[in-house]
Amino acid sequence: EEQLSVGSSEYVRRHRSELSEQGGFVFNIDSVGSPMGWFEVCASGPGSMIRFVEESLSEYGVYARGNEGVMPYADHFPFAAAGIPGLTVMRHNCASGRFFHHRPDDDLSRVSAPLIAKLVDAAARCAVTYAEGAPAPFPGSIPDEQRREIRSCWEDLFGGWNGEARARQQT
């Protein structure tokens, strides 16, 4: 999972056609348990998606700063490569990102269960609001400029849609 979103990229490769037919968006939660810090929404999709998520989270007292663009090192990225808008919510607790992230002292003593519960409740409400919305609260597409950058990163980092086969052929 931590090796360049292997699980999500494999899932998207196997289910790409049905994902394209179903539409929707991806809401990924990762590294959010720190009791201190600030939330960031890293999104590949329309600006209105970021605003929708920021507003939905704030109703639960979860305040996040949104960044529109391409983040290939998060599990929503392979979905974005397939044309599905998506985002990852993270919590930074120091200038370089997350202080206890992937270290021996990264244990449950560094996690706030109530904070995670609040974020999951907010995310669930966001998903229900999106699913029940008619019309949807934002377009189900990715802006052209982002799509070009996503395609470039997908080809470069993941080997494109046949990346697995290409990697096996090289060995």
Residue listed under structure tokens 């409740």: 121
d(Cα 118, Cα 12) in Å, to the nearest integer?
28
Residue that wins the pLDDT comparison between 142 and 35: 142
∠ CA(27), CA(108), CA(86), 5° rounding?
A: 10
pLDDT score recorded for residue 84: 94
**Mean pLDDT to the nearest integer, 100-129:** 87
pTM of structure: 0.86
By C-alpha distance, which of 171, 69, 36 is closest to 77? 69
Residue listed under structure tokens 């974005």: 80
Say if residues 102 and 39 touch (Cβ distance below 8 Å): no
**Mean pLDDT to the nearest integer, 141-159:** 93
pLDDT tens sequence across 53-78: 999 999 999 999 998 889 998 999 99
pLDDT tens sequence across 14-31: 999 898 888 788 999 998
